[in-house]
Amino acid sequence: MVVLISGRGSNMQAMVEAGLPVAAVISNRADAAGLAYAAGRGIATSVVPHRDYATREAFDAALAQAIDAFSPALVALAGFMRILTEDFVLRYQGRMLNIHPSLLPAFTGLDTHARALAAGVKLHGCTVHFVTAQLDHGPIVMQAAVPVLAQDDEAALAARVLKQEHRIYPQAARWFLEGKLVIEGGVVRVKGDHPQQLYAP
C-alpha cells in the first residue's frame, strides 16, 4: 500500500505499527514530519510539491506517476490535505481509502470538531470510507464513536477521536488487503462476522 500525507502522518504511523505492508509514503509537502518517520523505518518516501504545478490536473498526474511506481493494491489518504480531481479519483476507484474525523455523513469538510461542539451533538467520531469524486461521501467501511463531554473543547475532543482513528484505519486497510470488503449498492460489508462500528466510552 501507498500512504499519502501532508503533515505528521499519525494515521500512517498507526498503519506501520500495525504491521501493514506500507511500501511508500508520499507527501505534497517536503516538511511533512511523517516523511522522517517513514524513512527511519526504511520505507520509501517521495515528495510531489503541489506548488510546483500550475493546475490541480498537472499535480494529480505527477502524484499518480509517483504512486504507480509502487504498483499498490491500496492507496490510503492519511491527512492528505488536497482536493483530488475526478480523473485521479477514478484512476484509483475502489482501492483508495480515506479517514474523516466525523461520523459521516455529518460534518463533511474541515473544522469537524468545532462544528460538532457548536451543534451540540452528544456523539462524535471518525469514519473510514472509500474515496469518490464527491468529497467525504464515499461508501463507509468502518466508524468509531466517542461521547462528547460537557467539559470538552476542540482539542480534547480531537484527541479522543484521533485515538479511535488509530484503531479503525489500520483495521479497515487490513480488511481491504485481505479481500474482505464488498460494496453492494453503495454499502460496504465485511466478509465474515466483523463489527464495523466501535463505541469508545
User: Catalytic residues, which ones?
Assistant: 100
Nearest to 100 by CA among 73, 81, 85: 81
- Cell 466517542, residue located: 146
**CA 108 to CA 122: how far, in whole Å?**
17
Pairing mode, strands 187-190 and 181-184: antiparallel
- The one-letter amino acid code at 51 reads R
Nearest to 124 by CA among 142, 136, 138, 107: 107
Q: Tell me if residue 23 falls in helix, strand or coil.
A: coil
73 φ, ψ (degrees, to nearest 5): -75, -25
